[in-house]
Chains A and B, each alone.
Chain A
Amino acid sequence: MNLIPTDIEFERLSASEDAAYMLKKITGGGSGRTGAVFEARFIAFCILEEAIDAKTYETPLADVRLGVQVRSYIDDFIVARKRTVNWYEIKSGETITWESGERRTIAENFVSQMVLDLGRGLDASYHLVVPTRRVETDLEASRSYKVRDVKINMLPNTDDIDDIETEYSWFPRDLWRLIPLHAPRRDFKDLYVGLQGVVLNLPNNVLRDLEHIAKALHDRYEGAFTCIHDASLQPRTREVLERVPGVKVAVCGDQLHFRCTKPTVRGKVDGCRIGELSGNSFEQEIQLRIPTTWDALAPILWRDYGGH
């Protein structure tokens, strides 16, 4: 079954005035610059969380599907795993109440969505995302019994990783899984903002899986970031590399990261996708040349392997 409700489902399963509203509603856009940025930040945050989870528990990236500006009552963002669905309404305003909204209030939209999902037999949960603790507390205090099942999530409206850490301490810690070997924290901010760039270019009202997003991230930034499962080096390559004094290597996604203590260098090999054509030519180079010193290894690490 399609997770995005169809017109027929709106008509059959929603109250008639709700359905009439929905069928006329224009979805997507119109939330202004601040709204769009906060939405992108939250969605990028969720994608990172899902990508880290998928890596940790080794679940297929295709299992998680995401959609932005979906045509439904709660429309900002949807995360779906099989038939389990999370709906997100993302509000950047600092004066949001349950009664906010021009034609319909936030509370009304949540209730209509719950009724619709009940009729469709979906296992769904509902989230309202806000940018400050104060808004969260106010909403908690003023909610009516109808929206008692709506979870209120708070994400600081910032790109700064330290600010997010004050609320989610796991966030920077787990990002090591995506950029390893003592990367400076500032690198995580680039990844976070870069992912927002991908989010802003996702098509409206279409569900895409994490695999698609990982590919978009790789293609858009020419391999600067990756969030796919880790490939592995051929044992012989690893053996040669780690025999060079001070050198450590780690494969993260399809990228090869390295670190050396003398000289103090860290980084990744450009355009080298381990397990793909470019990765193989890199590994071949290492195995043929067998560098034993940093000076012999450096030119091989600095070459761009084309990213094929």
Chain B
Amino acid sequence: MDIDWSEATEAALLRQGRIRIPAELPREERVGLLLGGLLREKISVRNRTIQVVVRAADWPFLRGFITSLVQSDDAEDEPAEIAVTCYWNKYFKLSLEGPLPDIAPVSKEYSGVEATSVGITAFLTSGIGEPAAISGNIRRARERCSSNDLLILTPAASDVEIEQLKAYLYEDRIYDAHLLVGAAPKNQHLVRRFLRQNASENLTEDTYALPSFLDQVRDRYREYRAGDLPSPLW
């Protein structure tokens, strides 16, 4: 697994104003915007299909992330399609009490991807403290549809968590993941003061509305690409 660090998240969270992100937006949305920016720095999204994989617990990051993917000075640089896959997990830390790995069974799954292969799979998460949910969900998404590039985006990650995640990805036969971290490990505690990791089970009440909403986002973006809508944003 390759790893890229960035100072972007810290900058946005700790030194607001030096970055062109409106400070009045909710914190999660700002971080989502930054992680989207990180993705675009790392890889060209031009005319490619992007599958965003996310746990239902992390959906507050999604709005900013998608916004930053479709914000571009040149329409030619925009992705061909944006589809979200969302998992409602539970998490059981079996590794705490014995030799077994953690498990993250899925209770519900939404998939907005209709094709059997996409260009980029981006796993967006508030933290990698639940590695079984990350590797398991990526493997599930891969089972339904393959992708050329796989990126995992998180605002902060400690060295221990990264080592654990590597082991889980390896067990799930995922060898091509690329981790993009918003803040270096030495600044992790600073970021965590402002932004906590969401536990899989820590859901807001209204996540039932996500599937319909995400379908609308995808369809709206399609219409925009076809020239029927002036803006891709909802």
Q: Which residues of A contact B (CB under 8 A)?
A: 33, 36-37, 40, 159-160, 184-187, 189-191, 193-194, 196-197, 200, 221-222, 224-225, 260, 262-268, 270, 294-295, 298-299, 301-302
Contact = CB atoms under 8 A, between A and B. Distances in A.
B41 interface: no
B171 interface: yes
Chain B residues touching A, majority SS: mixed
A37 B99 CA distance: 7
A187 B106 contact: yes
A40 B144 CA distance: 30
Interface string B99-133: 11101111111111000000000000000000000
Interface string B70-114: 000000000000000000101010100011110111111111100
Contacts of B106: 184, 187, 190, 267
A32 to B, nearest CB: 10
Contact of B143 (A184, A197, A260): A184
Given A194-B105, A224-B107, A294-B212, A267 B100 contact: no
A264 B111 contact: yes
Contacts of A268: 107-108
Given A221-B90, A264-B112, A37 B214 contact: no
Nearest to A163: B173
Interface of B: 88, 90, 92, 94, 98-101, 103-112, 136, 139-140, 143-144, 171-173, 207-209, 211-212, 214-215
- By secondary structure, the A interface counts as helix
Given A40-B100, A264-B112, A225 B212 contact: no
A146 B217 CA distance: 70
A34 to B, nearest CB: 8
Nearest to B143: A184
Contacts of A225: 105
A198 B220 CA distance: 47
A189 B135 CA distance: 12
A297 B97 CA distance: 39
B108 A263 contact: no
Nearest to A185: B143
A260 B111 CA distance: 11
Nearest to A37: B99
Contact of B100 (A184, A187, A196): A196
A197 B93 CA distance: 10
20 contacts: A36-B99, A37-B100, A184-B143, A186-B139, A187-B140, A190-B104, A194-B92, A197-B92, A224-B107, A260-B211, A264-B111, A267-B88, A267-B106, A268-B107, A268-B108, A294-B211, A298-B208, A298-B209, A301-B208, A302-B108
B101 A193 contact: yes
A197 B214 contact: no
Contact of B211 (A189, A200, A298): A298
B59 to A, nearest CB: 13
A89 B106 CA distance: 34
A186 B211 contact: no
A47 to B, nearest CB: 15
Given A265-B108, A267-B88, A186 B136 contact: yes
A298 B88 CA distance: 14
Contact of A265 (B99, B110, B143, B172): B110
A184 B144 contact: yes
